Amino acid sequence: MRPLLDVVDLCRRFPVGKSQLHAVDMISLHVMPGEAVGLVGESGCGKSTLVRMLTRVLDPTEGSIRFDEREIGYIPAARFTRTPDRALIQMVFQDPTESLNPRFTAFDCIADPLRRLKGPWTTAGLKARVEDLAGMVGLPVELLGRFPHQLSGGQKARVGIARALGPEPRLLILDEPTSALDVSVQAVVLKLLDDLRRRLGVSYLFVSHDLNVVRLLCERVIVMYLGKVVESGPVEAVFATPRHPYTKALLSAIPSRGEEGGPRIRLSGEPRSPIDPSPQVCRFFGRCPLGADACQTEMPELREMGEGHRVACHTPMD
Amino acid sequence: MRYVLAENPVTAGAFVGFALLIALALFGPMIAPFDPLASDTDIALQPPSLAHWFGTDHLGRDILSRVIVAARLDMQIALAAVALSFVFGSLLGVLAGWYGGGIDRAIGRVVDTIMAFPLFVLAMGIVAALGNTVGNIIYATAIINLPFYARMARAETNARRDAGFVEAARLSGNSDARILAAQVFPNILPPMMVQVSLNLGYAILNAAGLSFIGLGVRPPTPEWGIMVAEGATYIVSGEWWIALFPGLVLMAAVFCFNLLGDGLRDIIDPRRRT
Amino acid sequence: MMLLEIDNLSLNFRTRSGVVKALEDVSLSVGRGETLGVVGESGSGKSVLSFAVMGISDAAATVSQGAIRFEGLDLLKAGPSDLDELRGAEMAMIFQNPRTALNPIRPVGRQIADVLLRHAGVTRAQAQDKAVEMLARVRIPDPERRAKAYPFEMSGGMCQRVMIALALACSPKLLIADEPTTGLDVTTQAAIMDLVGELARESRMATLLITHDLGLAAERCDRIAVMHAGHVVEVAPTAELFARPRHPYTARLISTTPRPGASLAALEPIPGSLPDLRGELAPCRYSARCHLYQAECDAGPLPRQDDNGRMVACRRPA
Amino acid sequence: MPVLVSLVLRRLLGALPSIAAVVVVTFVLTRALPGDPAAYFAGPAADAQSVEEIRRKLGLDKPLPVQFLAYLGDLAQGEMGTSLITGQPVSADILARLPASVELTLCGLALALAVSLPLGVAAATRPGSWVDHMARVISTAGVSLPVFFTGLLLVYIFYYLLGWAPAPMGRLDLFASAPTTITGFYLVDSLITGQFATFRAAAAQLVLPALTLGLFALAPLTRMTRASMLGVLGSDFIRTARAGGLSRGTVLVTYALRNALLPVVTTLGMVFSFLLGANVLVEKVFAWPGIGSYAIEALVASDYAPVQGFILTMAIMYVGLNLMIDILYGLIDPRVRIEA
Amino acid sequence: QSRDETLLVVVESGTNSLDIHAVGANPASYGVVWNIYDRLLSYGTKTMPDGSLSYDHTNIKPELAESWKFTADDEITFYLRKDAKFHDGTPITAKDVKWSFDRMVAVGGFPTFQMKAGSLEKPEQFIAVDDHTFRVKLLRKDKLTVPDLGVPVPIVLNSELIKKHATEKDPWGLEWSKLNDAGGGAYKVESWKPGEQLVLARYDDWKSGPLPKLKKVVIRDVPSAGNRRALVERGDVDLSFDLPPKDSQELAKGGKVKVTGTPIENSLWYTGMGVKQPPFDNVKVRQAVAYALPYQKIMDAVVYGRAIPMFGGPATPTKAVWPQPSPYNTDMAKARKLLAEAGFPNGFETVIHINQGVASLSEPMATLVQESLGQIGIKATINKVPGANWRAAMLKKDMPLFIDTFAGWLNYPDYYFFWGYHGQNAVFNVMSYQNPEMDKLIDASRFETDAKKYEDQVKGFVKMAWDDVPRAPLFQYYLDAAMGKNVQGYTYWFHRAIDFRSISKK
Ligand SMILES: Nc1ncnc2c1ncn2[C@@H]1O[C@H](COP(=O)(O)OP(=O)(O)OP(=O)(O)O)[C@@H](O)[C@H]1O
Ligand SMILES: Nc1ncnc2c1ncn2[C@@H]1O[C@H](COP(=O)(O)OP(=O)(O)OP(=O)(O)O)[C@@H](O)[C@H]1O
Ligand SMILES: [Mg+2]
Ligand SMILES: [Mg+2]
């Protein structure tokens, strides 16, 4: 099977004064059709930047993005809107409040992409489709006339999901879709997402910093640190035997209820700056409990450690 | 909205005042008790009386009638000037805020240049150079107000350029122009409306100031600023009513616009919406 | 006598749209050296409670009944100057979102020194020295230089450490931590919590840890109080609470939280949402969401005190 | 502080195009003025010929671009030409009159600040209370009055009716003699030289016009203080300060007000430039020998050089003002200072 | 210095030059020059019917020249006083006089123009015979030559002092004298802040007349008329000048201060019509307008009686004076009839131009005129021309209808008509009026020596001016000054500036 999304050596740098901020640095990844891939990493490591490039609202500095065998990375974001692929990559945003136009009703929010990307519609046809979508995400039809500020967080999240599903995408990118929600609402949304994937066969790229959530929803996980992928692999494998010290620290930091809880990895020191980072030094160096000499002279490459389990570390753990 | 009005009687008052001003502007000539232009030197400079509630001016014209009739012109000047600066200012601002880069710098330059003039003096210069017609007063007022809209629209647009809903709109297949028109603009409108109502007041004041230094509309057209300016010379000699009444009405109008701005702010503040 | 005793505290907010009954009949106590966790969904009144204890409630708040006793002194009856003496000296607080909780335009050392000057009866120079010392204690590298830095020059984790230094400057007897780690990365979060725990242990300081992260509470607290819509619905020693939740809300809260090892199917969302705290409320504020609801619940929850310090406010506890 | 120096340099450089644009626009605008200075200054009985002669003398017979180049050349040498109505070099006129305007504006601003800061703070600490409402009404009223009307009213009441204020006739009454010029600000100069009678006289003359300006500036400053103070008071770090048991005064002043001042400072800059405009009217009412009244006279007389000089001065002042605000901002806010 | 020896004066706008010869010297400079410089001769004083003082244009008296006589038919010799000194102490000599006279005919502009009116045109005319004798050669016999030497222009400047500051570009040292006192008059400039105030101090060595009483004069600019009024009313200043008529009227009535109003000689406010601009080329239209003007309203509501009406007079002139009341009166029926006869029964549209520089008078007048004309169907809009542009507008001569004033310094009707009506089309003939017959009469009268003939000529052209009405006379305005009751000796002068030398305080 060919990957639905295939990203090679993608980079995005932002100018900061005279220097460059390497938000995303030579990232390669792929998503297979029908697969759910998790993307984790700490705040500011470039998850959103990556995702915004993949959804083609942000232009990459370098690298290629192939979607369904077509190279879409070079199409300027403004023009991509007019290509047929626009409908096929959709996204659910982190903050359900901020991502809904406060002056659009729930109906308008869901109908907007339909009007632009599908159609033509008759008024009745559009209404039927919107109600259909609302039903799919479990949003009561009577709420469609409301404005975002009149909806609860969970309801807003559903509007966002319905909007993204409207154009029948093949790849759905979810940028921390539940981090602004309460646990009880989060549970509802997670179940909904999982259910939808099973029913519609859509591929997910699920961004989060909550490993527990990723583990619940995804088959494969990619761990990012400061613009780089440090580890990737099947969820089970990564969670059971994290090979990168950062992943390990991440996992061990999850508050456990005293049930399991292996030895905790303490991270000390400050993260390196993403501005003009040295290409020779491992990004994790300085915080890494294992830091070796090689880490300062050579950037570790991703290496295959087992079935699809790859890690970028000179001294992988076991 | 009804809720805010009920909560805040001052704002409600401002709305009533605004409605009154509009009514005056529309029907002023019909309800004015006297011909505002008819002079009668026999009754010149009479203090307020039952016949002439606001007294008469130096040519014996009825001040009340002049004040009423002037409402139309003053409102015209204010509305037209503000409309012009709003349209062009927000257009420039939105473009600058949206595209950033060179466009932003170019527009910023223009706006900075306007701002670098002492604004009232710029208005004076424009009216003096082009002639003191109503049209030119409106243009001058519009030009000096333009930077405020441009800056505000720029800031508001800039703040929303990367907002989630804008990105969502892009994902939904909206073109830039469409996003600007349908998504961004309606959202920056409310704060701009507050500015509009404040500016309506400033526009009237500006026109009045121009009148005061002799660059206002042509006599004998009644206009509040001119009436105050004319009346100013009579204050010391004790004929206070000539300047006072138009001054009060002018003040009331500006006051009303300003309070309206406050009220609008309350109404459009999403936290106050139910 | 416990260090802090909250007795039947009820607190209301006067707002434009009616009275918000934010706390009702809340009774809690914290002993010296103990860590009490307070958990619950967003809006359940956790922050309101902590502010009430610190006496920094919003101006719109009124306490309609109850007492808060700190070492026997009724804080609600104490004069403002007495409170000022206590605050910062005897009891201190650290807040969620450390970046915004520090004055952005004052060097952090100065902010710590301000508190010391107020309470410790030291000179300005001494206060400054002590501030540096405190920064060192919370393991901020290069404390001398950092004392002159501004919050925006520091990472979130460092700001939180400054907050802790600020709170602990006068060696208080009680520390209230209101969601001290939300918004921080999991790795940082662990480090911060370790630090708080350590410092508390060193000086036998009592801690009131407020969080909505059950995992965090489980890991760090001796006892946990569960709040729902302004009520304390259950208080129990940590292990017992998780092992044997008695209130249906507690049970649901636990089962709705993703945790390692659990599957998506095991997530059981809590139906409905927190009731609107304005206007008339059912005596049991959970009754509308409760799967065990029965008519007798309308008579109001029965607080049941258990011999080993457990409390549950429910007619039909598990 | 090299950061500051580079900031200043960068700002100045950035302002150059604006200043250049101002020079061009002003030049074009003044040439578009309907008056014919040649005819005006040719005297009461000139015929077409003598007007032409004057025109030649003034260099107005040359094509506009040539005139513009000549103007630029003069500017480059620091020459702003000669005013025909006062007969003085424009630079001398402006130098002599600028302190008067600036002193007045600063006093107005100081007066406004003295009222609006406490008022805004009081309103913000008790939103919805009568203080709040009063602040709103007072400040709105202040900005609703045309400045010239306020000025006239004040003169009528305090000078004509009550006799409390001195006659509105400029910076000093007729009996006081001007202090030795050091800064040009009478208040400052008289204090430096110890002429206390003059100080009193100058202060007395300043009260009404400064009040007029101050009233006008009250509204934006009070509003901004209130709004920003409200925002700051609701922010997290104030809660931290309170939780730290800091005294109410410290919390209000050291923590809240200093932060709230940031937007107020920005507003201050805008208000200052507004006031410089309003000055034009106030100076006329109070016979204040500042550059505002100078500009009006010149404008009405189509006296190009002073109008150009005036606007250029104002533009430079505006740039300088913004620079000062930036620096002030940097002093208050370390984020600006360090990131600059 | 005692308050009694200081005079505080407020004026609307102050001088811009200390030298009347400089380009752009404004009217306020006449007064400064009048007081700080001497001329060869001056005018005496007379008491008016109302008890106020006025200069006497019939009485020419010595100032710097002790005496003068016609030493030939075409030559006047002036004998200068020998003790006169400039402010810097150098004696005043005929050389200075010659230099000063050369200067004013050479600099061009207004001074040259004004001297031409007295046939003083070329440097060759002026001869310094010896240190104290100065001779003027006459180009022609002109009755205005001697009177013209008493106007503010022919001042005697300190030539040596100025020459020190002259440059190649500026041989007459105008730039310097504009800013500095180079005189020998009764007052010297103590300090001057342009646009703010001028302080004059008495020159104690002044010899050309009795030493003035006032030791110091402070002239402060106060643009606001209301303030000027308030200041004098409250006694804070001694003399307030440039008062609007209403304030003068009320102050006079109020009795707290003394108001002296003197009709300005040889002056007239009028409604002018561009006779080359249709339909005002039709005399009937002009007459219609003249009959439609609201004369009395203007007297009441605009000038508040501080003027002499110039309407409702006899049909033909009775005296050889100017101005005198015209036969026109407000008569709408007649106006309508005339307009219909002219072919405009329904009126027409036009524009009234006024000078914004004098808007306080011209604007209400224009408003009343506009309203009045409206009643006979003439729809007029008012165009306020900025003061700066007024002269240019006058020069262009394209204003169909306008309201303005003109006054001549030298009080002779022929002088007025020569500038205001003569077909040579001077600036002041804004109407572009040309009537060869009138021109003949005017030209003849200027050099007429026979009193009877002169009277007939004057009556002749006045009558023509009435019949053709290129300008419809409105009123002769007062020059008003309000002063404290203790101010004595204020005298009206044709140049409408204050002569401080005669003033004292009691
Ligand atoms: N437009 C931009 N200009 C400059 N820097 C940017 C821009 N957008 C993002 N960055 C920087 O790029 C880095 C990565 O940001 P990004 O938002 O992708 O992180 P993230 O992993 O999504 O973080 P979070 O978990 O907080 O959402 C950050 O350091 C951020 O400051
Ligand atoms: N100043 C106030 N005025 C009115 N209502 C308030 C005020 N402060 C808090 N409330 C209300 O009190 C209730 C409890 O709020 P609180 O902030 O204590 O929740 P929380 O448990 O801390 O939630 P979170 O986890 O989001 O911090 C909420 O319903 C809130 O709306
Ligand atoms: Mg992100
Ligand atoms: Mg909280």
Q: What is the mean pLDDT of residues A18-35?
A: 90
Residue D1: predicted pLDDT: 52
Chain centroid to CA A20: 23
Under a CB-based contact definition with an 8 Å cutoff, are residues E87 and E184 in contact?
yes
- d(CA B42, CA D189) in angstroms, rounded, equals 54
- Please tell me the predicted confidence (pLDDT) of residue E308: 93
- For residue A234, being part of any structural domain is answered with no
Do the Cβ atoms of A58 and A12 come closer than 8 Å? Answer: yes
Mean predicted confidence (pLDDT) in D145-172? 84
Query: Among the atoms of ligand 1, which is closest to the Cα of residue A50?
Result: 18
**CA C13 – ligand 2 centroid, Å:** 10
Q: By C-alpha distance, which of C199, C198, C161 is closest to C180?
A: C161
Query: φ, ψ for residue C83 (rounded to 5)?
Result: -60, -45
Domain span at C289: 4-90+172-313
Sign of the dihedral through C-alpha A63, A66, A72, A77 = negative
Structure confidence by residue, pLDDT tens digits, D64-81 = 888 888 888 888 888 888
B235 touches chain E (CB under 8 A): yes
Whole-angstrom Cα distance, residue A64 to residue A3? Answer: 14
pLDDT of residue A260: 52
Instruction: Answer whether B258 touches D (CB < 8 Å).
Output: yes
A112 touches chain B (CB under 8 A): yes
- Which tokens belong to A25? 């640095």
Digit-coded pLDDT (tens) for B31-71: 888 888 888 888 888 889 888 889 898 888 999 999 999 99
Residue D284 pLDDT exceeds 80: yes
Domain ranges for chain B, please list them.
2-34+54-273
Sheet bearing E53-62, strands edge to edge = E41-47, E53-62, E491-492
* Closest among E273, E275, E287, E295 to E344, alpha carbons compared: E287
Task: Tell me the CA distances in angstroms from C252 to B118, C26, E105, one per residue in order.
Answer: 66, 21, 110
Class of residue A241 by CB neighbours under 10 A (exposed 0-12, middle 13-18, buried 19+):
middle
The pLDDT of A145-168, averaged and rounded, is: 88
Q: What is the distance of C-alpha E166 from the center of its chain?
A: 31
pLDDT at B270 over 80: no
Question: Taking a C-beta distance cutoff of 8 angstroms, is the pair B171, B218 a contact?
Answer: no
Evaluate whether ipTM surpasses 0.85.
no
- Per-residue pLDDT reduced to its tens digit, E72-125: 888 999 999 999 999 999 999 999 999 999 999 988 878 888 898 888 999 999
- Range list for CATH 1.10.3720.10 in chain D: 94-339
C149 inside domain: no
pLDDT at D245: 85
Give yes or no for residue B3 having a pLDDT over 70. no
Q: What is the mean pLDDT of residues D168-175?
A: 77
Best mutation site among C10, C13, C178 for ligand 2 pocket (most ligand atoms within 8 Å of CB):
C13
Q: Provide the CATH number for the domain around residue C247.
A: 3.40.50.300
Q: Is A37 helix (H, G, I), strand (E, B) or coil?
A: strand
CA distance E488 to E52: 10
**What phi and psi values does residue B163 have, to the nearest 5 degrees?**
-65, 155
Residues with Cβ within 8 Å of residue B2, at least 6 apart in sequence: none
Say if B182 is an interface residue toward chain D (CB within 8 Å). Answer: no
Which of B37, B39, B240 would you mutate first to test chain E, the one with the most E CBs within 10 A? B39
Contact state of D280 with B124 under an 8 Å Cβ cutoff:
yes
Q: Please give the mean pLDDT across all residues of chain B.
A: 84
| Statement: residue D339 has pLDDT above 70 | no
Does residue A193 belong to any structural domain of this protein? no
Return the DSSP state at C278: B
Q: From residue C85, give the alpha-carbon distance in Å to each of A170, B97, C55, C172, E366.
A: 62, 50, 12, 11, 78
CB contact under 8 A, B175 and A100: no
Instruction: Note the pLDDT of residue B273.
Output: 44
C273 CB near a chain A CB, below 8 Å?
yes
pLDDT of the residue at E255: 86
Beta bridge partners of C69: C5, C74
Classify burial at B7, counting beta carbons within 10 Å of its beta carbon; exposed 0-12, middle 13-18, buried 19 or more: middle
Which residue type occupies E331?
D
Residue B274's pLDDT band, with cuts at 50, 70 and 90, is very low
Record: contact B59-E229, CB cut-off 8 A: no
User: In this structure, what DSSP letter does residue C152 have?
Assistant: G
Average pLDDT over residues E357-379: 91
**Two tokens, residue D35:** 């008056």
* E371 close to B (CB below 8 A): yes
pTM: 0.83
- Per residue in B117-170, pLDDT (tens digit) is 878 888 888 888 888 788 999 999 999 889 889 988 998 898 888 888 888 898
Decide: C1 in ligand 2 pocket, CB within 6 A.
no
DSSP state of D256: I
Q: Kindly tell me the burial class for residue C249, based on how many C-beta atoms sit within 10 Å of its own C-beta (0-12, 13-18, 19 or more).
A: buried
What is the distance between the alpha carbons of residues D276 and E170, in angstroms, rounded to a whole number? 37
pLDDT classification of B272: cutoffs 50, 70, 90:
very low
Q: Are the beta carbons of D126 and D234 closer than 8 angstroms?
A: no
Please write the tens of the pLDDT for every residue from E203-258: 999 999 999 999 999 998 888 788 888 889 888 899 998 888 988 998 999 888 99
Report which bound ligand comes closest to the CA of C178.
4
State how far Cα D336 lies from the chain centre.
26
* Token pair 């939105």: residue: B94
Q: 193-252 in C: which are within 8 Å (CB) of A?
A: 194, 212-216, 218-220, 239, 242, 252
Q: Is residue C134 part of a domain?
A: no
pLDDT at residue B198 is higher than 70: yes
CA distance E270 to chain B (A): 19
The residue to which tokens 């209808």 are assigned: E401
Q: Does B59 touch chain E (CB under 8 A)?
A: yes
Residue A212 lies in a domain: no
Distances (CA, A) of C33 to C197, C201, C221, E291: 10, 7, 11, 108
| Contact C114/D at CB under 8 A | yes
Closest-CA distance, D102 to chain E, in angstroms, reads 16
Task: Give the whole-angstrom CA distance, residue D41 versus residue D50.
Answer: 10
**B56's tokens:** 């008469």
Of residues E299 and D126, more confidently modeled: E299
Helix (H) or strand (E) holding B134: helix B134-161
Instruction: For residue D36, name the pLDDT band (cuts at 50, 70, 90).
Output: confident
Query: What is the b/e burial string over A284-303, where b = at least 16 CB atoms within 10 angstroms of the residue's CB?
Result: bbbbbebbeeebeeebbebe
Among A265-279, B157-171, C87-101, which is the least confidently predicted range? A265-279
Residue nearest atom 10 in ligand 2 by C-alpha distance? C22
HSE-CB at C303 with a 13 A cutoff on CA atoms is: 16
CATH 3.90.226.10 assigned to D94-339: no
CA nearest to A175 within chain B: B164
Looking at CA atoms only, how far is residue D125 from chain C in angstroms?
Answer: 10
**Where in the sequence is the domain holding A293, given as residue range(s)?**
242-318
Interchain contact, A101 vs B176, CB within 8 Å = no
Which chain C residue shows the shortest CA-CA distance from B273?
C17
Task: Name the domain count of chain A.
Answer: 1
Q: To the nearest whole percent, how much of chain D has pLDDT over 90? A: 10
Q: Is C246 part of any domain?
A: yes
**Residues A242, A247, A250: CA angle, nearest 5 degrees:** 125
CB E198 within 8 A of CB E13: no
Q: In 3-state terms, what secondary structure has residue E112?
A: helix
β-pairing verdict for C206-210 and C35-39: parallel
C241 pLDDT higher than 70? yes
Q: Which of C35, C259, C270, C291 to mutate to test the interface with A (most CBs of A within 10 A)?
A: C259
Q: At what angle do helices D258-286 and D147-154 cross, to 10 degrees?
A: 70
| Per-residue pLDDT at B2 exceeds 70 | no
Min Cα–Cα distance to chain C from A154, Å? 10
Q: pLDDT band at D3, cuts 50/70/90?
A: low
Beta bridge partners of A15: A20
Measure the CA–CA gap between E252 and A256, rounded to whole angstroms.
100
Q: Count how many domains chain C has.
A: 1
For residue E6 the two structure tokens come to 């200081």
Q: What CATH code would you report for B2-34+54-273?
A: 1.10.3720.10
Q: For residue B272, what is the nearest residue in chain A, using CA coordinates?
A: A149
- The predicted-structure confidence for C28-87, as pLDDT tens digits, reads as follows 999 998 999 999 988 889 999 999 999 888 888 899 999 999 998 898 888 888 888 888
Mutate to test the pocket of ligand 1, among A40, A42, A47 (most ligand atoms within 8 A of CB): A47
Name the token pair of B152.
């505000």
